[in-house]
Each structure stands twice: as C-alpha cells, then as structure tokens.
Copies of this chain bind each other. A is one copy, B any other.
Amino acid sequence: MKIDIHPKNENDTIQKEIISKIRDYINYKNLEPGDKLPSERKLSEKFEVSRGNVREAIQTLESYGLLISKPQSGTFIADIGPVAMNGMITDILRLEKSDFKSLVETRILLELKTVRLAALRRTEEDLKQIEEALEAYAEKVKNGEDAVQEDLLFHLAIAKACGNSTINTFMLTITPEIITNFTKYHVCDKNIAFIGIQEHREIYEAIKEQDPQLAKEKMKIHFKMLYQYCYNIKD
C-alpha cells in the first residue's frame, strides 16, 4: 500500500532541469512573443536529453500558457514578454506539492465565494442537481453509511452552479486530494455527518431563495468545525 513516489520524482527533476534550460535559452537569445524556439530535435541534442523529455517540458510550459506549439511548424513564445516569462518560469520551478493545510484553506476561500455566486446565478437546472446531491447525501447518512463522497459531490454541484468556470476547475482540482486526506485523517466522522444534513439543507434553501449573504453564513457555519480542525493539524 506504500506509494513509492521516487520514479515520478526523478522524472520531475529531469523535466525541471529542462524547463530551466529553456528559460536560460530564452533569456540568452532574448526571445520575444511570437519568436520561434529551436525544434524539439535540436533542443534535445543541445540539452543532451531525449526528445520525449523535451516534449514533456514544452507541454508543461504550454499548459501554463507560456509557449504555443504548432504542428509541423514549431514552438513559439506566447504573448508574454521576456521579463514575465523569466519570472513565471522561475516561480513554476519553485512550485511544491500542496500541503493539506493550504488545500483546506483554499477550499474554504473558494466555497465561500461559490455559494454566494450560486445563490445569485443558479438556474433551475442547477438547483435541481444540487437538490439531488443533497438527497443522495442524506440517504447515505441515514443508512449509517460513510458519505464523504456524496458530501463532496454536493459541494461540487454548488461549484458548478456558481457560473465561474475557473473556480469550478479549481474546485475539481483540489477535491480528490481533499477526499484522500479526509479519509486518511478521519476528518468526517459519522456523528458529525448527521449535523451535516441539516447544514447542507440550509445552504440549499439559501441558494434556492437566492439569498447570497445567508448562503455564505450557512456555509461558514458548515465549515466551522473544518476550520478549527484545519488549524490543529501539525505542520
């Protein structure tokens, strides 16, 4: 059951080195938006790594929107100047894996926003889906079963209704890690779950009545225990 993160780690190290070299190259050649990078083949022999590694590094930088790769043409600098390019790549290289505390803190921040926006913007369809998620959660709890999944799906339904695609994406990004950590640290015990039903229902009602302030308050109450728990975790 032990998860060996070594191989991925090593691969990550190689990729970070390549990204670092790409940054240095961009600086050295003073490449500006629209300029073309050398081909993957040339980069791979210049850096003395495999072409696959170069592709991976380019894809990572592309996912951040720093490079644009055009088929049968080349890889180009995005509409970002040299200064920002340099600073951003340096920051990306410094990125570390999210700790649980940061995850929970971020989740609370995002959800206090999503619930307000959902109250303002939810469609009837959104409302229906939130209600379905609510009922699924309530039934599981009443049967005495574990309901961590249904709990989170309720919150994701709210995120979907908030009408902000970026926040929705972020919520989807952190939720699996949240679930994993919850089950690992036994955050949601079953005795708490019963209180959760009522709290969820009140959040739902506030969204239904399109009362953003009330919705936020109810969400705050819902997060009260989580909030305390979050700040008791050892670093």
Contacts and interface: CB of A to CB of B under 8 A. Distances in A.
A92 interface: yes
A66 B71 CA distance: 30
A92 B149 contact: no
A176 B66 contact: yes
Contacts of A3: 68
A80 B172 contact: no
A82 to B, nearest CB: 8
Nearest to A79: B180
A174 B63 CA distance: 11
Interface in A1-36: 1, 3-4, 7, 34
Nearest to A6: B71
A188 interface: no
A138 to B, nearest CB: 14
Chain A interface, DSSP helix/strand/loop, else mixed: helix
A176 B64 contact: yes
Give the number of copies in the complex.
2
Contacts of A94: 160
Interface residues of A, number: 59
Contacts of A83: 136, 149-150, 153
Interface of A: 1, 3-4, 7, 34, 64-66, 68, 70-71, 78-81, 83-84, 87-88, 91-92, 94-99, 102-103, 105-106, 109-110, 113, 136, 148-150, 152-153, 156, 160, 164-170, 172-177, 179-180, 183-184
Given A87-B149, A109-B109, 15 more contacts: A65-B177, A66-B176, A78-B176, A78-B180, A79-B183, A80-B149, A80-B179, A81-B148, A83-B149, A87-B153, A88-B156, A91-B172, A92-B172, A97-B165, A102-B165
13 contacts: A1-B34, A4-B70, A64-B176, A80-B149, A80-B176, A87-B149, A88-B156, A88-B175, A91-B172, A106-B166, A106-B167, A106-B170, A109-B110
